[in-house]
Structure 1
Amino acid sequence: MPFIAALIGYVTKRVAIEMMFRPVEFAGIRPFLGWQGVLPANAERMATTATEMLTTNLVDPKEIFARLDPAQVAKEIEEPLLKVVEDVTREVMETYQPRLWEVLPTAAQQLLLKRVQAEAPRAITKIMREIAANIEDVLDLKHMVVANLVRDKALLNRLIRDISKPEMQFIARSGIVFGFILGCVQLLVWTFTKSPIVLPLFGLGIGWFTDWLALKMIFLPREPRRFFGLYTWQGVFQKRRDQVAADYGDMIAREIITVPNLLEAVLRGPKSDRLFTMITREVQKTIDAQASVVKPFVAIAVGTKRFQEMKQTAAAIAAQRVPETIRHAEDYAVNALDVRNTIVDRMRKLTPLEFEQLLRPAFRQDEWKLIAVGAVIGGLVGELQALVLLH
């Protein structure tokens, strides 16, 4: 019986762990006949909770973006930027007044291009400074992180499962130990009573109690504590905080707060219109400052009103294309932002209670379901055990 109880303890834990994460999508007949992993089923709530922790305690967008050197960014993207400037200039001129561009002296064409190209890096530097100073106006970091985790539920699973792998192993293995101990008690009770109700009741109790106790032992006590003067215990998750910090920082920097994701959020997120307004304004200033060399030719040929339209079109096209050139500064940005080390350092400074909140929300609200499943499985195995022994 103790060995059967140990098996019950282990199996119920493994089932509970798998039910937390699998299946990623609902399997069965909605709304009640079927199952979806606890984390994927509550992806938005879990993602929002994790993001709140991340953005409140670990990552300050203004701080990390201040690490970018605007002049260095402009230098990194100089080659693609100059190409964009030339393409935009030619496209606008050929669209509005192709004949004028053709008859414009080559020297005048080149002078215009050179002047605008020379000013472009300075314009980018100004734009980057403005973005860094007003990052909350163009980037909604919370929205970006939540959207990515909700869209990619497998990523949310990995975020929790990868950093808590030792804790999951502890839950499963503890079921064997606790189950065996309770199985010894079960054997004594069965020996004296031979009651058929003993085995399913103990099975149910073993499934419930071992699940409940294992979950508690992951997080509690938060500080090392000596029990009965014999044994010191600290929650498994708390005890591993340095390794958890490293793993969590790696995953966030590698898969969530990445330069491509940040660019995507800035360019296409809910605040992207503010970025394009910012770029358009700066591009128009640059055009005004540098187009004076050909303005008399163009204004005479197309009229002042038409010239203003050309300028606005050029600014709009540039606002669409210039941000894409920032991707060429990705390697520099990854090193400069240093998201991974920032998260690791901040995590190590969290209080035990704050640190617990990284993983605890994944269990707290729905842990009763996992415990209940463990109890039901334990009860069924106990009933099967009773049938075998009595027949």
Structure 2
Amino acid sequence: MPFIAALIGYVTKRVAIEMMFKPVEFVGIRPFLGWQGVLPANAERMARIATTTLTRNLVDPKEIFARLDPDQLAKEIEEPLLRVVEDVTREVMEQYQPRLWETLPNGAQRMLLRRVQADAPRTIAKILREISHDVEQVLDLEHMVVTNLVRDKALLNRLIRDISRPEMRFIARSGIVFGFILGCVQLLVWALTKSPVVLPLFGILIGWFTDWLALKMIFLPRLPRRFFGVFTWQGVFQKRRQQVAEDYGEVIAREIITIPNLLEAVLRGPKSDRLFEVIAREVRRTIDQQASVVKPFVAMAVGSRKFQEMKQTAAAIASVRVPETIRHAENYAINAFDVRNTIVDRMSRLGPLEFEGLLRPAFRQDEWKLIAVGAVIGGLVGELQVLLLLH
């Protein structure tokens, strides 16, 4: 009986752990006949909790973007930027006056391209400085993180699972120890009573109590505490602060606050219009400044109104094409942002309660379901023991 009780303790823990994360999508007949992992089922709520902790306590977008040197970034993307400038210029000219570009003297073509290209890096640096002073005008970091975690529920699973693997192992292994101890009590009660009710009741107790106790021991006590004057205990998660910080920072920097994700958020997020407005304004200004040599000729050929439309079109195309060139400076941006080390440093300063908030929400609201499942499995195994012993 003690060994079977230990097995019940272990199996109920393993089932509870897997039910937290799997399946990623609902399996069964909605709304009640089936199951979806606790985390994926509450993806948006969990993502918002994780994002709140991330944006309020760990990562300040203004501080991160302030680490970028606009002149250095412009230098990193200079080559692809010049190609984009040339492509935009040719595309606009050919769109509005297919023959005009060919009729321009080669010297005039090269002069226009050189002058616009020469000012492009300075224009980009100016745009970056303006944005970095108030990055929240073009980037909604919370929206970006929530969107990515909700869209990719497997990523949300990895975020929680990767930082809590030792805690998951502790839950499973503790079930063996607690189950064996309760099994010894069960054996004694069974020997004295031979009541068929004892085994199912103890099965329920083992499944429920060991799940509940293991979850509590992960987080509590938050600070080391001595029990019975014999041993000292601290919540497993709290005890691993440094390793948790490093793992969490690694996942965030590698899979969430990445250059591709930031670019997507800036270009397609709820504040993307502001970025396009800034780029379009600077492109129009640059055209007015640098195209002065050929401007009279172009305006005469296509008309002043048409020339204004050409500027607007150039600005619109550049607003889409220019930000993509930032991808060529990905390595520089990653090193400058230094997201991983920033998170590790900030997490080391969190209080015990704030630190607990990184993982505890994954358990708190639905942990009763996991405990209930453990109790049901324990009861079924207890009833099976009765059938084997008495029949």
Bucket of the pairwise TM-score, normalised by the shorter protein: over 0.9
Deviations 1:227-267 (A, max 9, x none): 01100000000000100000000000000111110011101
What is residue 119 of structure 2 aligned with on the other side?
Answer: 119
Q: What residue number does 1:279 align with?
A: 279
TM-superposed CA distance for 1:101, in Å, is 2.0
Residue 285 of structure 1 and its aligned partner are, at CA, apart by 0.7
- Cα drift, residue 304 of structure 1: 1.3
- 1:345 is aligned to 345
2:40 aligned with 1:64: no
Q: Describe how 1:184-203 pairs up with structure 2 within 5 A.
A: 184-203=184-203
- d(CA) in 2 for partners of 1:8 and 1:87? 68
Q: Could you tell me which amino acid in structure 2 is paired with residue 52 of structure 1?
A: T
* Percent of pairs with identical residues: 84
Q: Describe how 1:101-120 pairs up with structure 2 within 5 A.
A: 101-120=101-120
Question: 2 CA distance for matches of 1:48 and 1:350?
Answer: 19
Aligned length: 391
- State the shift of 1:100 in Å: 2.7
Partner of 2:3: 3
* Paired residues for 1:32-181 under 5 Å: 32-181=32-181
In 1: Cα distance, 2:23 partner to 2:96 partner: 57
Structure 1 CA distance for aligned equivalents of residues 349 and 274 of structure 2: 35
What residue is the counterpart of 2:324 in the other structure? 324
| Counterpart-to-counterpart distance in 2, 1:309 and 1:260 | 32
Aligned to 1:242: 242
Distance in structure 2 (CA, Å) of the matches to 1:269 and 1:214: 41
Question: Alpha-carbon deviations, 1:101-129, whole Å to 9, x = none?
Answer: 22222111111111100000000001111
Alignment RMSD (CA, Å): 0.8
Q: Secondary structure at the match of 1:98?
A: coil
Tell me the CA shift for residue 270 of structure 1: 1.2
The letter for the 2-side match of 1:269 is G
CA offset at residue 390 of structure 1? 1.3
- Please state whether the residue corresponding to 2:99 is helix, strand or coil: helix
Q: Distance in 2 between matches of 1:151 and 1:98?
A: 44
Unpaired segments ≥5 residues, structure 1: none
Question: Which deviations, in whole Å up to 9, do the C-alpha atoms of 1:67-89 show, x marking residues without a partner?
Answer: 01100111011011111111111
- 1:362 maps to which residue? 362
Structure 2 counterpart of 1:355, one-letter code: F
Distance in structure 1 (CA, Å) of the matches to 2:109 and 2:208:
80
Counterpart for residue 375 of structure 1: 375
Structure 2 counterpart of 1:99, one-letter code: R
Equivalent position SS for 1:31: coil
The one-letter code matched in structure 1 to 2:133 is A
Separation (CA, whole Å) in 1 of partners of 2:162 and 2:299: 63
What is the distance in 1 between the residues matched to 2:309 and 2:168? 63
When structure 1 is superposed on structure 2, of 89-98 and 180-189 the one drifting more is: 89-98
Task: Tell me if 1:305 matches 2:305.
Answer: yes
2:219 pairs with 1:219: yes
Inter-partner Cα distance in structure 2 for 1:215 and 1:130: 48
Task: Specify the code of the residue in structure 1 equivalent to 2:202.
Answer: F
Q: Secondary structure of the equivalent of 2:232?
A: strand
Deviation at 1:99, TM superposition (A): 2.8
Matched, 1:262 2:262: yes
Consecutive unaligned residues in structure 2, runs of 5 or more = none
Who is 1:21 aligned against?
21
CA distance in structure 2 between the aligned counterparts of 1:96 and 1:117, rounded to whole angstroms: 21
C-alpha distance after superposition, 1:206-236 (max 9, x if no partner): 1100000000000000000000110000000
Amino acid at match of 2:79: E
Q: Deviations over 1:149-176 (max 9, x none)?
A: 1111111111111110000000000001
- Per-residue deviation at 1:286? 0.6
Cα deviations across residues 308-356 of structure 1 (Å, max 9, x unaligned)? Answer: 1111111111111111111111010000000000000000110010000
Quick one: which amino acid aligns to residue 39 of structure 1?
L
Once residues 239 and 298 of structure 2 are traced to their aligned partners in structure 1, the CA distance between those partners, rounded to angstroms, is 72
Query: What's the CA shift for 1:97?
Result: 2.1
Q: Distance in 2 between matches of 1:266 and 1:116?
A: 25
* Aligned-partner residue type, residue 189 of structure 1: V
Q: Take 2:136 and 2:332, find their aligned partners in 1: how far apart are those partners?
A: 22
Q: Return the alpha-carbon distance in structure 2 between the equivalents of residues 176 and 346 of structure 1.
A: 36
Which AA in structure 2 matches 1:32?
F
Aligned to 1:31: 31
What is the aligned partner in structure 2 of residue 233 from structure 1? 233
CA–CA distance in structure 2, aligned partners of residues 273 and 247 of structure 1: 35
Q: Partner of 2:28: helix, strand, or coil?
A: strand
Where 1:229 maps in the other structure, the secondary structure is coil
